[in-house]
């Protein structure tokens, strides 16, 4: 699998649109995001946090937060979805992927702020992760979620993932998809160009 340039993470930022046209930037997390990312996790509903962390926690455990902001450590990569409110960048979602070169897979997890759910942002992030995985040459995309997590299961099903029990854990379901589409057929290029435009003129990204 190909690897990204860890010295210039901003060049991998993408601009997505929510269903009602709000511009969402999806960029790699940075060390400076630590506090905002923790506030984001604290602000999730207990149910969303439980679903995302697969267990009860009032915030992101310190070790995990540290991994989230150190992109590339242990082949794990975190992205934050942000929008601008009154000129200030606010985290409204996040995603994390881990690449496993031994079996060509790209393992993912994601969440969207409760107040922003149901606006197509989860679907856009998932599609974006598929683009990123294809761009890096991964053969399959997969994730595990609690079998009670109807929203994630419906989202995965709708995005064409196959569902099967997670090996070794009866409480979880694995969603999995082979990556067959060529990168050029996907919206990745358009998303990246839009992000570059917004970086050069931030007022374009204001809701
Ligand atoms: C799962 C999650 C990421 C979905 O994000 P979202 O932005 O609300 O999803 P979208 O608006 O893009 O929905 C896309 C599709 O998913 C399905 N879906 C989303 N939320 C759903 C819900 N609550 N119930 C049933 N289906 C749902 C629908 O098919 C929807 O398509 P539609 O709106 O055309 O019907 C979000 O609910 C979340 O963050 N949950 C908490 C964290 C979590 O569970 N993460 C998954 C762990 S891997």
Q: What is the distance between the alpha carbons of residues 137 and 35, in angstroms, rounded to a whole number?
A: 33
Give the E-state strand segments of the chain in sequence order: 14-17, 23-28, 76-85, 88-100, 105-112, 140-146, 162-165, 172-178
**Domains, in order of start, for the chain:** 9-201 (3.40.630.30)
Residue in 122, 129, 156 to alter for ligand 1 test, most ligand atoms within 8 A of Cβ? 122
Taking only the tens place, the pLDDT of each residue in 145-185 is 999 999 999 999 999 999 999 999 999 999 999 998 665 55
Mean pLDDT over all residues of the chain?
A: 91
Q: So what's the pLDDT on residue 187? A: 66
Mutation to probe ligand 1, out of 92, 146, 151 (largest number of atoms < 8 A from CB): 151
- The pLDDT, as a whole number, for residue 171 is 96
Write out residues with Cβ below 6 Å of ligand 1: 48, 51-52, 109-112, 117-123, 143, 145, 149-152, 154-155, 158
- Please count the other Cβ atoms lying within 10 Å of the Cβ belonging to residue 14: 25
CA of 154 relative to ligand 1 center, distance in Å: 7
Q: Give me the pLDDT at residue 182, please.
A: 64
Query: Model pTM?
Result: 0.93
Predicted local distance difference test score (pLDDT) of residue 3: 79
Q: How far apart are CA 95 and CA 34, in angstroms?
A: 15
pLDDT (0 to 100) of residue 184: 53
pLDDT in the model for residue 199: 75
Q: Can you list the residues of the chain whose pLDDT is less than 50?
A: 207
CA 176 to ligand 1 center in whole angstroms: 16
């Amino acid at each position: 699998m190909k690897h990204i340039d860890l010295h210039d993470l901003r060049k991998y930022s993408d601009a997505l649109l929510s269903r009602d046209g709000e511009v969402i930037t999806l960029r790699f997390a940075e060390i400076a995001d630590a506090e905002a990312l923790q506030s984001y996790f604290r602000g999730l509903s207990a149910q969303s946090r439980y679903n995302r962390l697969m267990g009860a926690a009032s915030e992101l455990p310190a070790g995990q937060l540290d991994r989230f902001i150190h992109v590339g450590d242990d082949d794990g990569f975190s992205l934050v979805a942000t929008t601008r409110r009154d000129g200030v960048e606010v985290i409204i979602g996040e995603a994390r992927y881990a690449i496993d070169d031994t079996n060509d897979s790209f393992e993912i997890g994601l969440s969207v702020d409760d107040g922003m759910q149901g606006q197509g942002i989860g679907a856009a992030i998932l599609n974006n992760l598929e683009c990123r995985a294809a761009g890096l040459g991964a053969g399959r995309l997969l994730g595990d979620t609690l079998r009670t997590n109807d929203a994630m299961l419906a989202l995965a099903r709708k995005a064409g993932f196959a569902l099967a029990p997670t090996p070794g854990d009866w409480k979880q379901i694995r969603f999995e998809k082979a990556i067959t589409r060529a990168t050029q057929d996907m919206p990745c290029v358009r998303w990246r160009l839009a992000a570059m435009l917004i970086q050069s003129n931030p007022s374009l990204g204001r809701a």
